[in-house]
Structure 1
Amino acid sequence: METETETETETETERPWTSAELEERLRAVAEQRYHDRHPFNVRMHEGTLTPAEVRRWITNRFHYQQHIPVKDALITAKLGSSELRRTWVRRIEDHDGREGDEGGIERWLRLGEAAGLDRADLLSGRGVLPGVRLAVEGYVNFCRLRPRLDAVAASLTELSAPDLMRRRVAAFERHYPWIDAEGLAYFRERVHQGRRDSGEALALVLRWARTREEQERAVAALAFKCDVLWSLLDAVEHSEPEDLR
């Protein structure tokens, strides 16, 4: 026979979180599992990376950057109103560029050039590690196959991005002066964009995730995205020079 305690416990585990509780859990994931804690990122900000390591990171991270507008196009296709699509399509333009704005992909190419990399090599994909390709493909497929809630929730790593970008600019200016300061424009621009984008995405997740199951899916989606970014850095951290293609 079901006891009163068992009934209360079951009800508590099924009860939807309030918006404040859900936001607290999402922010906790972003704070505790974001890739700023990865040893490679820590070393980057401490200034102990070699020029070769910095270039390897720029090369492999560019593979991820190239696929940001791809995943955002997949998310845009899932949105059910013109208003939402107009809001989200701006993210594609932020990376691909628009008239009068070079876009994030171009800014990343200029970062590579400032670090001594060849633009054609970056665009060719030479030097992208298998583990990085696998992580990026997994994220793009997640956005392709999962419902809109999950795909949008996964983007909430941007909750932590503005602070990371500010720290990164300061670290590069202090520890890697051999990189021209103009090459850091991508990081500077993402401080504003990340704050705006994360606010919009968070509002959607809080609106859409009404049941406990939906809320737990949102939290899991954000954790998955953190794992993607962590795996990307794992591949870069543990690669050897002969691993570069």
Structure 2
Amino acid sequence: MTRPGDELTERLRAVSAERYHDRHPFNVRMHAGDLTREELRRWIANRFHYQRHIPVKDALILAKFDDPAPRRGWLRRIRDHDGEREGEGGIERWLRLGEAAGLKREQLTDASRVLPGVRLAVDGYVNFCRLRPALDAVAASLTELSAPDLMRTRIAAFERHYPWIDADGLAYFRTRVGQGSRDGQEALALVLKWARTPEEQERAVAALAFKCDVLWSLLDAVDRGAPSHDYS
């Protein structure tokens, strides 16, 4: 028997399966061990620009909720990335990944070094969450449904192919396996609850496709790189 929401769930999972950035050539090369140290550092440095904006977009989404229950759940996401105190949270763990790869913190936090395409992709996502209704913004976050498998693949790839990166630097990826699974299921429950009409369901699917495009565009920019930026 088909349950309410099964069809929409299948459509959303199909978007992730077909368009998630695990298929991007840069990620494929990363997981095959084919990136140079310069390329990997360039990715870590530019991806940090996305990481540091995750709690910003989550705060924008949080402000759209009328019900305290989803607000409490979404607030946890902000804590996950910002931490409860200095030296904790996902942003701090990403900075430590950079250090483990031989980057200085200022190379990650210096926004002037961010590639233009990365900046545009991140700005586009943040503005989407700022301007679109709660349903669309939450649906865009459903890339979390695919994140745990990507994190597992990435951990194995780093351990096998990039042993020059200290294992402690992989803490971000390890933590996101559990967090991503939990966040994805919670967001999916909200989308299934809110997307009742065909029009709302189409918006949800389109929002997830947009987010996949954001992540893909970010990697396009990193893959092309910029000779004026030195991440050695």
> How far does the alpha carbon of each residue in 1:124-180 deviate from its partner, in whole angstroms, 9 at most, with x for none?
224210000000000000000000000000000000000000000000000000000
Query: Which residue of 1 is the match for residue 54 of structure 2?
Result: 68
1:192 CA drift (Å): 0.1
- Report the Cα distance in structure 1 between the residues aligned to 2:119 and 2:87, rounded to whole angstroms: 28
The letter of the residue matching 2:51 is Q
Q: Is 2:161 the partner of 1:202?
A: no
CA 1:235–1:100: 2 relative to 1, 3 Å: closer
Q: Does 1:233 align with 2:219?
A: yes
Number of equivalences: 229
Residue 78 of structure 1, aligned match among 64, 68, 71: 64
Superposed displacement of residue 210, structure 1: 0.2
Hey, what's the Cα distance between the residues in 1 that align with 2:61 and 2:179? 18
State the TM-score, normalized to the length of structure 2: 0.96
**Structure-1-length-normalised TM-score:** 0.91
* Structure 1 contact 165–187 (Cα < 8 Å) conserved: yes
Q: How does 1:1-245 map to 2 (within 5 A)?
A: 18-99=4-85, 102-242=88-228
The aligned residue for residue 5 of structure 1 is none
Unmatched runs of 5 consecutive residues or more in structure 2: none
CA RMSD of aligned residues (A): 1.5
The runs of 5 or more residues in structure 1 that have no matched partner are: 1-16
Secondary structure of the 1:40 match is helix
Q: Is the 8 A contact 1:127 1:244 kept in 2?
A: no
* Dislocated runs of 4+, deviation >4 Å: none
* Cα distance in 2 for residues equivalent to 1:26 and 1:18: 14
Q: Report which of the two structures shows the higher radius of gyration computed on alpha carbons.
A: 1
Q: Is the 8 A contact 1:129 1:244 kept in 2?
A: no
Distance 2:28 2:106 in 1: 29
CA–CA distance in 2 between the matches of 1:234 and 1:111?
Answer: 22
Q: Contact 1:128 / 1:244 at 8 angstroms: preserved in 2?
A: no
Seen in structure 2, the aligned counterparts of structure 1 residues 66 and 42 have a Cα distance that, compared at 3 Å, is same
Percent identity at matched positions?
Answer: 75
> Aligned AA for 2:208?
L
SS at the partner of 1:241? coil
Q: Which residue of 2 aligns with 1:4?
A: none
Distance in 1, matches of 2:57 and 2:85, equals: 22
Deviation at 1:123, TM superposition (A): 1.3
| Deviations 1:66-112, CA, capped at 9 Å, x for gaps | 00000000000001111111110100000000149810000000000
Larger mean CA deviation between 121-130 and 204-213 belongs to: 121-130
